[in-house]
């Protein structure tokens, strides 16, 4: 992994609260590790009492693959919903054995070792492996005493000089536990991707019933709104207890990036959603980031320091693709004009930035150095223009790149100046599938296309959705960049080859009923060296007589717009 980064400038507006460093539960493993047993040692830790219940209730995960390594993760919790946030574990450290093999029965062992899961890090484990074979599939598991974890599947990235043939990558975002069942995660796992990108809103901070989906919620959050370390640990454990989510983590390595709900809705740097709560935001961020790190397969470079976490980074998949994973929350200027959809002159202030000026420079440097066939931005909020009215003004979302237009222009210009061969933007956040062209000048209808943006819907957020047979949102009539939209829930599969970047919009028919089918609603392709996308498949959900789901009443254009605006305030 190429995670070189220009150091961020000292913050000028943030009140830093240094609350310590997450420590323990991190090991690096490379070179020779002695014997490679075919089975895991079942001896319990001599320092801690044996566990009477299974501690692997949160599953396993891997992430941040490099040509020679990957991060393996688990967290011990015998009672995940315990109010202490420690998962019902004794306040003692435990020795956890891990094993890596070339087959899922562990007959071809590759590496093994021991790591200490500390109470101070909520008994989380991060094993950073190195010295592995590039472009190779592996299987892994953990053991404490007599308890053995589920088996996870992972893979290393190809060698940096390898173009390779194809990468199956899925991306996903926005899973509100109360709004539905995580079937989309299960179907994603069944599609067997090589790599998964999670683009934010992995969890939601609201108390039970604090955010109600149309038609009501189907299950409840445990505990109050998350503001404390114990609260964030408990909430993440509740999500990670879900079997469908565990299946998605176990199928492939993940690249994760956080958005707002990992902390607080629509927060921006040191400004909370409710300005009166901003003084408490640094401490809240510190708690949220520590719990986030403890529960994600992140490298030690992302160990948080108080209210700061280093989360933007770059992953190279050989010469096929570079993934530039952005952080669009920690360094942004506050939303202009009080947030929301506004026609706001401050959106054109040149000094304002969404990712922060230092991250803009880091991204531009990455573009200039890239030798990849495809340069992919993994980021959180809508990149393209979405004027919400047909009038001459620009009534757009202040939380998205529309609210930071000069910042967006600089990013687009940086990939043009660098001669990036194939720029593609991947986005989450907005609870619907969209396809949008990136224009050189979004205010000029005849502006040339300079890139493509693909937006994934939510896993559950917003509850059961609905389809538009035409695949068009009403805003498309006065936003020529908007090519496709459906309000169904789901995820996106991609197949990246040297010749093309194929996108399949996968949709779950319902989320308020578990274990529903998935189907491909539409497919698009970007051809190598061609600016712009072409649609290759269109499959509207039947409007009558469907055996897939009980269809809602047709929506008027006004209702579709209202649904969009409502979803994006949460």
For 388-407, the pLDDT digits (tens) are 999 999 999 999 999 999 99
Predicted local distance difference test score (pLDDT) of residue 131: 98
Predicted local distance difference test score (pLDDT) of residue 14: 38
Predicted local distance difference test score (pLDDT) of residue 403: 98
Q: Six-digit token pair at 540? A: 């509207």
DSSP 530: -
Predicted local distance difference test score (pLDDT) of residue 569: 87
Q: What is the pLDDT of residues 467-524, one digit of tens each?
A: 999 999 999 999 999 999 999 999 999 999 999 999 999 999 999 999 999 999 999 9
Those residues with Cβ within 8 angstroms of residue 355's Cβ, 6 or more apart along the chain or in another chain: 312, 326, 327, 328, 331, 332, 363, 379, 407, 411
Q: Six-digit token pair at 209? A: 């019933």
Q: Six-digit token pair at 326? A: 């952005």
Tell me the pLDDT band of 548, cut-offs 50, 70 and 90: low
HSE on the CB side for 85, CA within 13 Å? 23
Q: In the beta sheet, which residues pair with residue 153?
A: 139
Query: From CA 220, how far away is CA 461, in angstroms rounded?
Result: 13
Q: What is the pLDDT of residues 19-50, one digit of tens each?
A: 333 334 456 665 323 233 334 444 445 467 89
Predicted local distance difference test score (pLDDT) of residue 365: 98
| Contact indicator for 67, 96 with CB cutoff of 8 Å | no
Predicted local distance difference test score (pLDDT) of residue 537: 97
Sign, CA torsion 77/19/362/333: positive
Question: Cβ of 528: how many Cβ atoms within 10 Å?
Answer: 13
DSSP per-residue codes, 101-138 = ESSTT-SSEEEEEEEEE-GGGTTEEEEEE-SPPTT-EE
Predicted local distance difference test score (pLDDT) of residue 48: 79
In order of 1, 546, 558, the CA distances from 565 in angstroms are 38, 28, 11
Predicted local distance difference test score (pLDDT) of residue 44: 44
Predicted local distance difference test score (pLDDT) of residue 570: 85
Predicted local distance difference test score (pLDDT) of residue 27: 61
Predicted local distance difference test score (pLDDT) of residue 36: 35
Predicted local distance difference test score (pLDDT) of residue 23: 37
Q: Is the model more confident about 36 or about 290? A: 290
Sign, CA torsion 301/262/357/10: negative
DSSP 447: P
Query: From CA 440, how far away is CA 327, in angstroms rounded?
Result: 23
Q: CATH top-level class for 167-567?
A: alpha beta
For residue 17, pLDDT over 70 is answered with no
Query: From CA 175, how far away is CA 462, in angstroms rounded?
Result: 9
SS3 438: strand
Mean pLDDT for 178-207 is 98
Angle among Cα 18, 7, 427 to the nearest 5 degrees reads 90
Q: What is the pLDDT of residues 203-261, one digit of tens each?
A: 999 999 999 999 999 999 999 999 999 999 999 999 999 999 999 999 999 999 999 99
Instruction: Give 26-155's CATH code, choosing from 3.30.2130.10, 2.60.40.10, 3.40.1280.10, 2.60.40.380.
Output: 2.60.40.380
Query: From CA 355, how far away is CA 361, in angstroms rounded?
Result: 10
Q: In the beta sheet, which residues pair with residue 279?
A: none
Query: From CA 77, how far away is CA 542, in angstroms rounded?
Result: 44
Q: Is the model more confident about 37 or about 115? A: 115
- Locate CATH 2.60.40.380 in the chain: 26-155
Q: Is the model more confident about 251 or about 11? A: 251
Q: What is the 3-state secondary structure (H, E, C) of 462-527?
A: CCCCCCCCCCCCHHHHHCCCEEEEECCEEEEEEEECCCEEEEEEEEECCCCCCCCCEEEEEEEEEE
| Contact indicator for 425, 531 with CB cutoff of 8 Å | no
Decide: residue 237, CB within 10 A, 0-12 exposed, 13-18 middle, 19+ buried: buried
DSSP 316: E
Query: Over the chain, what is the mean pLDDT?
Result: 91
Q: How far is CA 437 from the centre of its chain?
A: 22
Percent of the chain with pLDDT over 90: 88
For residue 455, pLDDT over 90 is answered with yes
| Contact indicator for 265, 277 with CB cutoff of 8 Å | no
Query: From CA 262, how far away is CA 201, in angstroms rounded?
Result: 6
Predicted local distance difference test score (pLDDT) of residue 551: 56
| Contact indicator for 193, 169 with CB cutoff of 8 Å | yes
Q: Is the model more confident about 232 or about 15? A: 232
Q: What is the pLDDT of residues 142-172, one digit of tens each?
A: 999 999 999 999 999 999 999 988 999 999 9
- Locate CATH 3.60.21.70 in the chain: 167-567
Percent of the chain with pLDDT over 70: 90
Single pTM value for the model: 0.93
- CA neighbor of 253 nearest in space, from 303, 214, 299, 318: 299
């Amino acid at each position: 992994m190429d995670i070189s980064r220009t150091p961020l400038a000292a913050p000028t507006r943030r009140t830093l609260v240094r609350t310590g460093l997450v420590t323990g539960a991190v090991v690096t493993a490379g070179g020779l590790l002695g014997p490679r047993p075919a089975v895991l040692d079942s001896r319990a830790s001599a320092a801690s009492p044996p566990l009477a219940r299974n501690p692997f209730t949160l599953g396993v995960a891997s992430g941040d693959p490099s040509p020679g390594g990957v991060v393996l993760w688990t967290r011990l919790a015998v009672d995940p919903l315990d109010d202490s946030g420690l998962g019902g574990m004794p306040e003692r450290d435990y020795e956890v054995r891990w094993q890596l093999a070339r087959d899922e029965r562990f007959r071809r062992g590759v590496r093994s070792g021991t790591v200490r899961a500390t109470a101070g890090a909520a008994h989380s484990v991060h094993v950073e492996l190195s010295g592995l074979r590039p472009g190779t599939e592996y299987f892994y598991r953990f053991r404490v005493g007599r308890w053995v974890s589920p088996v996870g599947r992972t893979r290393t990235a190809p060698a940096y000089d390898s173009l390779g043939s194809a990468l199956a990558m899925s991306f996903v975002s926005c899973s509100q536990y109360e709004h539905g069942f995580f079937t989309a995660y299960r179907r994603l796992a069944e599609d067997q991707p090589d790599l998964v990108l999670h683009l934010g809103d992995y969890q939601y901070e609201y108390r039970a019933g604090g955010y109600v989906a149309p038609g009501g919620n189907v299950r409840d959050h445990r505990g109050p709104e998350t503001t404390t370390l114990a609260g964030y640990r408990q909430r993440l454990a509740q999500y990670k207890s879900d079997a469908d989510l565990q299946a998605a983590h176990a199928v492939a390595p993940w690249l994760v990036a956080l958005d707002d709900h990992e902390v607080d809705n629509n927060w921006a740097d040191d400004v909370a959603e409710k300005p009166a709560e901003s003084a408490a935001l640094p401490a809240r961020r510190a708690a949220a980031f520590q719990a986030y790190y403890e529960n994600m397969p992140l490298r030690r470079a992302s160990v948080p320091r108080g209210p700061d976490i280093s989360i933007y980074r770059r992953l190279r998949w050989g010469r096929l693709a570079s993934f530039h994973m952005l952080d669009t929350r920690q360094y942004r200027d506050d939303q202009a004009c009080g947030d929301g959809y506004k026609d706001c002159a401050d959106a054109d202030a040149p000094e304002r930035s969404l990712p922060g000026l230092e991250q803009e420079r880091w991204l531009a440097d990455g573009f200039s150095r890239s030798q990849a066939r495809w340069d992919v931005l993994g980021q959180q909020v809508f990149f393209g223009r979405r004027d919400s009215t047909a009038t001459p003004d620009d009534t757009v979302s202040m939380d998205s790149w529309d609210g930071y237009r000069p910042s967006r222009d600089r990013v687009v210009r940086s990939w043009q100046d660098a001669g990036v061969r194939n720029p593609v933007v991947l986005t989450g956040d907005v609870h619907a599938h969209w396809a949008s062209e990136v224009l050189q000048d979004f205010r000029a209808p005849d502006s040339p296309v300079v890139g493509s943006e693909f937006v994934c819907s939510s896993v559950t957020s917003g509850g059961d959705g609905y389809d538009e047979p035409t695949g068009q949102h009403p805003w498309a009539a006065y936003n020529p960049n908007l090519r496709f939209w459906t309000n169904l829930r789901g995820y996106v599969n991609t197949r990246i080859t040297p010749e093309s970047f194929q996108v399949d919009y996968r949709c779950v028919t319902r989320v308020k009923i578990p274990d529903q089918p998935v189907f491909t609603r539409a497919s698009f392709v970007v051809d190598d060296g061609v600016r712009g996308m072409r649609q290759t498949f269109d499959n509207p959900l039947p409007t009558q007589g469907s055996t897939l789901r009980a269809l809602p009443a047709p929506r008027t254009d006004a209702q579709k717009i209202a649904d969009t605006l409502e979803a994006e305030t949460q």
